[in-house]
């Protein structure tokens, strides 16, 4: 115990000062203000934590500073919005996506095929590029003609802003049903499968030098077959599926949106890692530039698909009840009426923003903690953070773990995005500010330390919310009559200053490992 105290004196003193500051801050305001501020701080902290934890996992294991993390957070929010507000678009998109993926499901088959073909040196160098070019050409021929019922960014009456507004007031705009008119259906479907197979074959030829033993099992073909069947079924039952999703209550639809956003975020992350980041492990600085470029590309894609204006995402009905007995005075009341607000200690608390999001944050915190501490994958990740080469030497396929961790990290960011969307609204810039928050939180908590990410995020969220609150009520400076009101620019400045001070005292953050 004595040695623990001696080793961590600085840490304990810092923590004591921060706690004392919070107690002092709590003294200055009424009880109901304090409760609301605390809950809001926890909510901001939870969203920050979802971004920060993914970033910290990726940085810890892969040593990649993923500067596109904020953009991926935003993409998660936009994907979730699409599923929630426009289920018909989502159903329409399922078929082409499954078909494009189908070729890549056969990834283990192509190397075997490649060894059968004997080629000259020049042909061998050109062939992959030629195949990828052919596949891109086929895609660019088919995809623009593929019928998808989608919004129109140019036309205000059909824009995402209007759709959100209508969905928020409980009605759905009748969406035009897309049908195959410009291109015949079998041609489009077969073309997509072929193009995807050609492209995947071309990509697989790039690493044909590495001699790996691929065993053909039924699993490869099963994945391929399942994707094809899913594509065909969604195409055939398109209308009834759309009707079913549209008729679903918004709570279930929100759950589906969360699942789709998280999964597609994870898939996107795995794709980015395995194609773009993998060649760059030997040149760490270039990953920075790559992820910066990806971030610019991502923002531009979001702008061209969903448009520039901000819009809101309606809350699911479970958290959106109004009128009657609302705001609820206790939880039983709330459960019966699904009120959007609840009275806690005389303060009006928004249930979705200030109770639901922190709960999800705690659930994710615990489940990722269990994953890291109690499973084999978690063991490999923890070992990899400590000594990557040793893990490789023990015969563990670290590459696959890398892909999984990158996917997990991006999936967490996308989950944060869809959760934040109903409370923050969707805008092109929502990723940036949150990413800066997450970075500060990580620096405070310790860059590669998982509990540190949680502690830092909560600290950042609390400090920001307390300063916003004090901006409204003002701080009476003792012994004078001046009432100091922190201005909005002080909100980000305070967290940044806290980060600089903590890093100067403890260079590895609060819970970071000492070197």
Partner 1 sequence: MKKFLLSNRASLFTLLALILLPFIVGLMDGESPMAVFANESGNAKFAQGLAIEIFILALYALSFDLIFGITGMLSFGHSMFFGVGAYLTGISLKTLGLSLPATLGLVFIAAIVQAILFGLVLPRVKGITFALVTLGLGSVFHIVVMSSELGPYTGADVGLQGVIAPAFISPANERIRFYFIALSILILVYLLYKRFVDSPTGRVCIAIRENEGRARMLGYNTFYFKLAALTLSSLTAALAGFMHTLYQPIVSPNVASMGFTVTALLIILIGGVGTLNGALVGAVVYRLLDFGLRRYIGESASFISGAVYVLFVLFIPFGIVGTWRAKSFQINQGWQRLRKLFG
Nearer to partner 1, 307 or 361 (CB): 307
Task: Check residue 436 for interaction with partner 1 (CB under 8 A).
Answer: yes
The angle, 0 to 180 degrees and rounded to 10, between the axes of the packed helices 87-105 and 185-206 is 50
Q: What is the largest CA-CA distance in the chain?
A: 88
Nearer to partner 1, 262 or 287 (CB): 287
Q: How far is the CB of 164 from partner 1 (least distance, A)?
A: 22
Which one among 19, 304, 397, 433 touches partner 1, defined by CB under 8 A?
304
Nearer to partner 1, 60 or 103 (CB): 60
Q: How far is the CB of 209 from partner 1 (least distance, A)?
A: 18
Q: Can you read off the two tokens belonging to residue 81?
A: 């919005």
Nearer to partner 1, 222 or 497 (CB): 497
- Span near partner 1 by CB under 8 A; candidates 177-185, 229-237, 420-428, 491-499: 491-499
Nearer to partner 1, 147 or 492 (CB): 492
Determine the Cα–Cα distance for residues 353 and 39; give it in Å rounded to an integer. Answer: 9
Task: Check residue 292 for interaction with partner 1 (CB under 8 A).
Answer: yes
Which one among 260, 299, 401, 404 touches partner 1, defined by CB under 8 A?
299
DSSP string of 384-442? Answer: HHH-HHHHHHTT--HHHHHHHHHHHHHHHHHHHHHHHHHHH-B-TTHHHHHHHHHHHHH
Task: Check residue 283 for interaction with partner 1 (CB under 8 A).
Answer: yes
Task: Check residue 297 for interaction with partner 1 (CB under 8 A).
Answer: yes
Which stretches of 63-120 are DSSP H helices?
A: 69-85, 87-105, 109-116
Q: Which residue has the tokens 């609204």?
A: 425
**Site mask for partner 1 (CB under 8 A), range 237-276, x = bound:** ---------------------------------------x
Contact (Cβ atoms closer than 8 angstroms) between residue 80 and residue 424: no
Nearer to partner 1, 157 or 489 (CB): 489
Determine the Cα–Cα distance for residues 423 and 461; give it in Å rounded to an integer. Answer: 15
Determine the Cα–Cα distance for residues 191 and 194; give it in Å rounded to an integer. Answer: 5
Number of residues near partner 1 (by CB under 8 A): 39
Q: How far is the CB of 506 from partner 1 (least distance, A)?
A: 10
Determine the Cα–Cα distance for residues 202 and 251; give it in Å rounded to an integer. Answer: 43
Q: How far is the CB of 63 from partner 1 (least distance, A)?
A: 10
Nearer to partner 1, 170 or 488 (CB): 488
Residues 6+ apart with CB under 8 A from 160: 81, 85, 151, 153, 306, 307, 309, 311
- Span near partner 1 by CB under 8 A; candidates 50-58, 232-240, 293-301, 319-327: 293-301
Which one among 295, 353, 423, 449 touches partner 1, defined by CB under 8 A?
295
Determine the Cα–Cα distance for residues 67 and 72; give it in Å rounded to an integer. Answer: 10
Q: How far is the CB of 356 from partner 1 (least distance, A)?
A: 31
Which one among 29, 443, 458, 459 touches partner 1, defined by CB under 8 A?
443
Between strands 341-344 and 347-350, the pairing is antiparallel
Nearer to partner 1, 53 or 242 (CB): 53
Q: Determine if the peptide bond prior to 327 is cis (ω within 30°).
A: yes
Q: How far is the CB of 293 from partner 1 (least distance, A)?
A: 4
| Segment 49 to 68, residues that bind partner 1, using CB under 8 A | 65
Contact (Cβ atoms closer than 8 angstroms) between residue 319 and residue 356: yes
Q: Can you read off the two tokens belonging to residue 243?
A: 């009707």
Which one among 10, 387, 496, 513 touches partner 1, defined by CB under 8 A?
496
Determine the Cα–Cα distance for residues 69 and 54; give it in Å rounded to an integer. Answer: 8
Which one among 447, 455, 458, 460 touches partner 1, defined by CB under 8 A?
447
Q: Which residue has the tokens 């890291």?
A: 372
Nearer to partner 1, 303 or 348 (CB): 303
Q: Which of 40, 64, 30 is nearest to 281 (CA)?
A: 64
Contact (Cβ atoms closer than 8 angstroms) between residue 68 and residue 297: no
Q: How far is the CB of 250 from partner 1 (least distance, A)?
A: 34
Sign of torsion over alpha carbons 190, 195, 196, 198: positive
Give the three-state DSSP class for 383. helix
**Site mask for partner 1 (CB under 8 A), range 388-427, x = bound:** ----------------------------------------
- Span near partner 1 by CB under 8 A; candidates 93-101, 135-143, 385-393, 487-495: 487-495
For Cα atoms 441, 412, 81, give the angle at the middle one, nearest 5 degrees.
Answer: 110
Which one among 182, 300, 387, 392 touches partner 1, defined by CB under 8 A?
300
Binding site for partner 1 (CB under 8 A): 65, 276, 279-280, 283, 285-286, 288-290, 292-297, 299-301, 303-304, 436, 439-440, 443, 447, 487, 489-490, 492-493, 496-497, 499-500, 503-504, 507-508
């Amino acid at each position: 115990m004595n040695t623990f105290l001696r080793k961590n004196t600085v840490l304990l003193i810092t923590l004591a000062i921060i706690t004392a500051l919070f107690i002092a801050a709590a003294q200055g305001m009424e009880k109901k203000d304090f409760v609301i501020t605390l809950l809001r701080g926890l909510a901001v902290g939870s969203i920050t934590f979802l971004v920060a934890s993914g970033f910290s996992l990726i940085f810890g294991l892969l040593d990649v500073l993923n500067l596109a993390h904020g953009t991926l957070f935003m993409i998660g929010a936009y994907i979730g919005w699409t599923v929630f507000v426009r289920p018909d678009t989502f159903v329409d998109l399922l078929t082409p996506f499954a078909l494009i993926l189908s070729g890549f499901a056969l990834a283990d088959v192509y190397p075997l095929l490649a060894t059968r073909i004997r080629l000259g040196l020049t042909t061998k160098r050109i062939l992959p590029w030629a195949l990828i070019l052919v596949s891109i050409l086929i895609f660019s021929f088919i995809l623009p003609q593929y019928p998808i019922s989608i919004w129109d960014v140019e036309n205000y009456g059909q824009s995402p802003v209007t759709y959100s507004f209508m969905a928020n007031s409980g009605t759905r705009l009748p969406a035009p049903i897309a049908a195959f008119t410009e291109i015949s259906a079998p041609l489009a479907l077969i073309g997509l499968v072929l193009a995807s197979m050609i492209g995947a074959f071309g990509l697989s030829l790039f690493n044909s030098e590495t001699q790996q033993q691929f065993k053909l099992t039924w699993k490869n073909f099963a994945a391929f077959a399942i994707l094809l069947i899913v594509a065909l079924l969604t195409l055939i039952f398109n209308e009834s599926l759309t009707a079913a999703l549209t008729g679903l209550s918004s709570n279930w639809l929100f759950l589906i949106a969360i699942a789709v956003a998280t999964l597609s975020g994870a898939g996107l992350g795995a794709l980015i890692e395995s194609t773009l980041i993998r060649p760059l492990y030997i040149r760490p600085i270039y990953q920075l530039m790559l992820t910066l470029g990806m971030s610019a590309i991502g923002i531009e894609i979001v702008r061209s698909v969903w448009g520039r204006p901000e819009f809101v995402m309606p809350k699911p009905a479970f958290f959106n009840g109004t009128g009657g007995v609302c705001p609820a005075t206790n939880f039983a009341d709330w459960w019966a009426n699904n009120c959007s607000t609840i009275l806690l200690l005389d303060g009006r608390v928004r249930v979705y923003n200030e109770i639901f999001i922190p709960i999800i944050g705690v659930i994710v915190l615990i489940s990722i903690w269990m994953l890291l501490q109690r499973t084999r994958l978690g063991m490999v990740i923890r070992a990899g953070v400590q000594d990557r080469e040793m893990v490789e030497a023990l015969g563990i396929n670290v590459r696959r773990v890398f892909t999984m961790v990158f996917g997990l990290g991006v999936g967490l960011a996308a989950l944060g995005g869809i959760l934040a969307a109903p409370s923050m609204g969707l805008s092109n810039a929502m990723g940036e500010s949150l990413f800066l928050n997450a970075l500060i939180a990580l620096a405070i908590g310790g860059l590669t330390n998982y509990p540190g990410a949680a502690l830092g995020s909560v600290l950042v969220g609390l400090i920001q919310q307390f300063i916003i609150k004090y901006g409204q009520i003002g701080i009476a400076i003792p012994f004078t009559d001046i009432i100091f009101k922190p201005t909005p620019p002080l909100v980000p400045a305070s967290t940044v200053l806290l980060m600089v001070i903590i890093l100067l005292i403890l260079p590895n953050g609060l819970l970071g490992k000492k070197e």
